[in-house]
Structures are given as structure tokens and as C-alpha cells.
């Protein structure tokens, strides 16, 4: 009898562990707000609890942004979301699923929600993209389940409230998609802004925190709507905030004391070709001392492509590769600089280099470069008119 009892005690922790692996982790942020985390993603969902139902904001089963090359429904992840919510909120069905934009770190599953009768709040522009990975029968059967936000839309009861705000790239140029949704939680005075709060996580540049374009747009939006939240909710899991939210004071501080990445770019682009060619080590050293991030050099390269300053673009691409030689994207940009300059042999050689560093790297390559080149040629033609 004692042997059987010992066997049960040994097996029981294993069973409990196995069952927990079938569910996502949820934490309680207080006042009807919860966060859900994923093994397959560094992004999180926000859950808002109402009297008789719950609302899910974002389903980042797959943690990819605008560089995603294969859009598909990760339905197993969606089923796991539904199972987790049913387990954590018994008796309260998921009534609405909201997402900010079409990138997979915002929505990488939707069919399980539709099949469960959940209403999906989106924009027509984002729907035009995500419908590509929605099952055809689901679209036909559940088209009424989609609710499109034109300007703003509210969900409320006596317990909680969400206001969805739509804005466009035309109004706010740093928006990652044609349009986007913010979700304001007035009861808690929090704004769910997802990846539009693209906070600089690196070291100070020349002694100052970088102010990103998305931060500028976010701050301008809050000012325009006269919304003064206490906290901002991002998609990414916070490294330094115990409640997994950013205090709005961090945004206010960088707006006052930060340095714009566009200003850094403008200053660096003043560097003449002779300096880049004859004193590359001196220039590289100044970048290292000031902590200039490779991403800014990368942005300079593409800005120079647009203005058809191809020799200078190639020089900056070379500098970026020296600054960050272990990054496959740096080698891809370097290869693209040669490709657009007409040297396909070196370009394709550097494309192979990206695969040596990271076989999974799919964001660039000849096909992408060719499409970029076609777009640049259109820009060059328009600039010559």
C-alpha cells in the first residue's frame, strides 16, 4: 500500500505540470485588468473583465511585426487562448476581441474566435489584410461578427469601459500600418497603445534618450484628444516595470529631454563623401563613443536610397556592417546597397552571408531588393519632374 501511495505522489506533480502547460499564464493587474503571456511570443494580451463577459485585446501568438512574410492563422494558439480564458473566467464568455493593427504581434489567430461567436473589433483596412488567413467559410458565416471602427467606438457596462480610437498614417506618419486603434480604459485611466509606444531601450545617445517618431505621434494623439492617462500599456513585456505598464511620466520625460532620431540622422547625413571614404575608422569611432545605434545608420541608408545618393548609401551601409557585424540585417542592407548600385555579384554574396549568420532570416534578399528598387525608381522619376 505504501508503494502505491509513493507512486501517486510522484506522478501527481507531473500531471499538474502537464496540465498547466496547456494554458497561458495570466496575471491580475487590478481593477478588472489582466495580462496574458505566451511561450511562443514576447508580446502580451490585455484582458478586461466586465460584469457578464470579458474582452481580449491583442492575440500575439506569433511575435512578428511588419516584416512578417507568411501570414497565417495560428489556430492552435487561438484555441489555447480560449481554453485559458474559460479556465480563468468560468461563467464569463469572451464577447469581444480587439486588435490594434494587422501585424502578427497584434493578431496572429482569429478563426477560433469567429467559430466561438466572438465579435471582432477592427478597421476595414486591417480586415482587408487579415482576411487573407481567415477560413473562407468563417468569413461567409461570421461576417456580421466584424465591427469596424471609423472614428471611435465604446464598450461599457456598470463595471468597466473601453473606448477604441482610430487614426491613420496620413494624420500620424509613424503609424506602422495604414490605420491603427488605440484602446482607452477610463475606469483605470490607462491607454493601451501596443507597439505605437516604441520606447528606446538602448543606452543614451550622446548623453540623451532617443525620442522615437512613434512616441512623438503618441504624445500628439493624447494631447489632441485631451487624454491624460496614468499608465500606458505596450505589447512587449516590460523589463523594468513590476506592473508591466509604462508610467506616462516616462513619455513626458523623453518628450522634454530626449533627442529625436530624425535629428541624429540629419546631423550624420551632413558627413561628406570624402570623410566616409578616407576616414571611415575615425567616423566609426565617433559613432561608438556617442552610442549611435546601428538602426539609425540603417535608416540613413534607406533615406539615401530615396534621394538617389547611392555612393553615400553604400558607404553608410558599410559603416553599419562594421558597427554591427553579427547582425544579418546589416549584411542584408549592405547587399541591397550593392544591388541598387548595380553590382549583383557582391550583393548576392552578402545575401549568402546573412544566411550564414541566421538561416532563419527572411526579411530581405534579392526579391525584396528588386521590389524596393522598383519603388525607388518611381520616387526618382517623380523627383525629376
- Same-domain check for residues 76 and 99: yes
Last residue of a domain, one of 197, 230, 259: 259
- Same-domain check for residues 240 and 275: no
Q: Which three cell numbers stand for residue 194?
A: 501596443
Q: Looking at the domain assignment, is residue 10 inside a domain?
A: no
Angle at 236 between CA 234 and CA 242, to 5 degrees: 80
The per-residue pLDDT for 170 is 92
The per-residue pLDDT for 69 is 61
Last residue of a domain, one of 225, 259, 293: 259
Q: Looking at the domain assignment, is residue 64 inside a domain?
A: yes
Helices 310-323, 294-306: inter-axial angle, 10-degree rounding: 170
- Same-domain check for residues 73 and 212: yes
- Same-domain check for residues 286 and 229: no
- Tally the C-alpha atoms within 13 A of residue 218's C-alpha that lie toward its C-beta: 30
> First vs last Cα of the chain: how many Å apart?
92
State the burial class of residue 352 (Cβ atoms within 10 Å of its Cβ: 0-12, 13-18, 19+): exposed
The CATH number linked to 339 is 1.25.40.10
Q: Looking at the domain assignment, is residue 8 inside a domain?
A: no
The label of the residue with cell 511562443 reads 40
Where does the chain have alpha helices with state H?
2-20, 75-88, 111-115, 124-130, 136-142, 213-225, 248-257, 261-268, 273-278, 280-290, 294-306, 310-323, 328-341, 344-357, 366-384
Which residues have C-beta within 8 Å of that of residue 6, sequence separation ≥ 6? none
The 10s digit of each residue's pLDDT in 96-136 is 999 999 999 999 999 999 999 999 999 999 998 888 877 76
- Same-domain check for residues 243 and 153: yes
In this prediction the pTM is 0.79
The CATH number linked to 200 is 3.60.15.10
- Same-domain check for residues 302 and 253: no
Which of 326, 272, 259, 329 shows the shortest CA–CA distance to 297? 329
- Same-domain check for residues 286 and 318: yes
Residue 237 per-residue DSSP state: P
Q: Looking at the domain assignment, is residue 254 inside a domain?
A: yes
Q: Looking at the domain assignment, is residue 7 inside a domain?
A: no
The per-residue pLDDT for 142 is 77
Say if residues 44 and 55 touch (Cβ distance below 8 Å): no
Q: How far is residue 295 from each of residues 202, 250, 300, measured CA to CA in Å?
A: 11, 22, 9
Q: Which three cell numbers stand for residue 261?
A: 532620431
- Same-domain check for residues 231 and 109: yes
Last residue of a domain, one of 231, 259, 287: 259
The per-residue pLDDT for 374 is 94
Q: Looking at the domain assignment, is residue 156 inside a domain?
A: yes
DSSP secondary structure of 68-113: -------HHHHHHHHHHHHHHSTT--EEEEE-SSSSTTTBS--HHH
Q: Looking at the domain assignment, is residue 6 inside a domain?
A: no
The per-residue pLDDT for 9 is 34
The 10s digit of each residue's pLDDT in 317-355 is 999 999 999 999 999 999 999 999 999 999 999 999 898
Which residues have C-beta within 8 Å of that of residue 160, sequence separation ≥ 6? 32, 48, 49, 50, 185, 187
Residue 351: domain span: 269-384
Q: How far, in Å, CA of 127 to CA of 102, rounded?
A: 8
The per-residue pLDDT for 302 is 94
- Same-domain check for residues 174 and 276: no
- Same-domain check for residues 166 and 220: yes
Q: Which three cell numbers stand for residue 238?
A: 516590460
- Same-domain check for residues 201 and 295: no
Q: How far, in Å, CA of 157 to CA of 2, rounded?
A: 55
Q: How many domains does the chain have?
A: 2
Q: How far, in Å, CA of 53 to CA of 89, rounded?
A: 9
**Spans of the chain, pLDDT less than 50:** 1-20
Which of 335, 370, 341 shows the shortest CA–CA distance to 353? 335
**Three-state SS string across 160-171, please?**
CEEEEEEEECCC
The per-residue pLDDT for 66 is 64
- Same-domain check for residues 164 and 30: yes
Q: How far, in Å, CA of 65 to CA of 63, rounded?
A: 7
Element spanning 49, H or E: strand 44-49
The per-residue pLDDT for 13 is 39
The per-residue pLDDT for 327 is 94
The per-residue pLDDT for 67 is 64
Q: Looking at the domain assignment, is residue 278 inside a domain?
A: yes
**What is the C-alpha radius of gyration for the chain, rounded to an integer number of angstroms?**
24
Say if residues 215 and 199 touch (Cβ distance below 8 Å): yes
Amino acid at each position: 500500500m505504501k508503494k502505491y501511495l509513493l507512486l501517486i505522489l510522484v506522478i501527481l506533480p507531473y500531471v499538474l505540470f502537464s496540465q498547466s502547460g496547456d494554458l497561458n499564464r495570466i496575471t491580475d493587474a487590478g481593477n478588472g485588468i489582466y495580462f496574458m503571456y505566451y511561450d511562443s511570443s514576447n508580446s502580451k494580451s490585455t484582458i478586461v473583465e466586465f460584469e457578464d463577459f470579458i474582452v481580449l485585446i491583442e492575440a500575439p501568438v506569433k511575435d512578428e511585426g511588419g516584416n512578417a512574410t507568411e501570414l497565417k492563422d495560428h489556430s492552435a494558439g487561438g484555441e489555447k487562448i480560449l481554453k485559458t480564458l474559460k479556465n480563468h473566467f468560468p461563467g464569463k464568455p469572451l464577447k469581444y476581441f480587439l486588435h490594434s493593427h494587422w501585424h502578427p504581434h497584434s493578431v496572429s489567430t482569429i478563426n477560433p474566435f469567429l467559430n466561438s461567436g466572438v465579435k471582432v473589433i477592427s478597421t476595414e483596412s486591417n480586415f482587408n489584410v487579415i482576411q487573407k488567413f481567415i477560413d473562407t467559410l468563417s468569413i461567409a458565416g461570421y461576417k456580421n461578427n466584424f465591427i469596424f471602427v471609423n472614428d471611435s467606438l465604446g464598450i461599457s457596462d456598470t463595471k468597466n469601459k473601453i473606448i477604441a480610437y482610430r487614426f491613420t498614417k496620413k494624420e500620424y506618419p509613424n503609424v506602422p500600418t495604414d490605420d491603427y486603434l488605440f484602446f482607452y480604459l477610463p475606469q483605470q485611466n490607462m491607454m493601451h497603445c501596443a507597439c505605437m509606444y516604441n520606447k528606446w531601450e538602448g543606452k543614451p545617445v550622446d548623453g540623451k534618450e532617443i525620442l522615437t517618431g512613434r512616441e512623438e505621434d503618441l504624445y500628439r494623439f493624447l494631447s489632441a484628444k485631451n487624454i491624460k492617462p496614468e499608465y500606458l500599456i505596450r505589447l512587449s513585456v516590460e523589463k523594468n516595470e513590476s506592473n508591466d505598464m509604462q508610467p506616462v511620466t516616462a513619455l513626458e520625460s523623453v518628450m522634454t529631454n530626449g533627442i529625436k532620431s530624425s535629428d541624429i540622422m540629419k546631423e550624420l547625413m551632413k558627413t561628406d563623401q570624402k570623410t566616409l571614404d578616407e576616414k571611415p575608422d575615425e567616423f566609426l569611432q565617433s559613432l561608438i563613443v556617442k552610442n549611435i545605434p546601428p538602426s539609425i545608420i540603417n535608416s540613413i541608408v534607406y533615406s539615401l536610397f530615396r534621394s538617389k545618393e547611392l555612393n553615400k548609401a553604400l558607404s553608410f551601409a558599410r559603416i553599419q556592417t562594421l558597427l554591427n557585424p553579427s547582425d544579418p540585417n546589416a549584411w542584408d542592407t549592405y547587399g541591397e546597397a550593392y544591388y541598387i548600385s548595380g553590382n549583383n555579384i557582391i550583393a548576392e554574396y552578402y545575401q549568402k552571408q546573412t544566411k550564414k549568420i541566421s538561416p532563419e532570416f527572411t526579411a530581405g534578399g534579392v526579391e525584396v531588393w528588386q521590389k524596393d528598387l522598383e519603388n525607388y525608381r518611381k520616387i526618382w522619376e517623380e523627383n525629376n519632374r
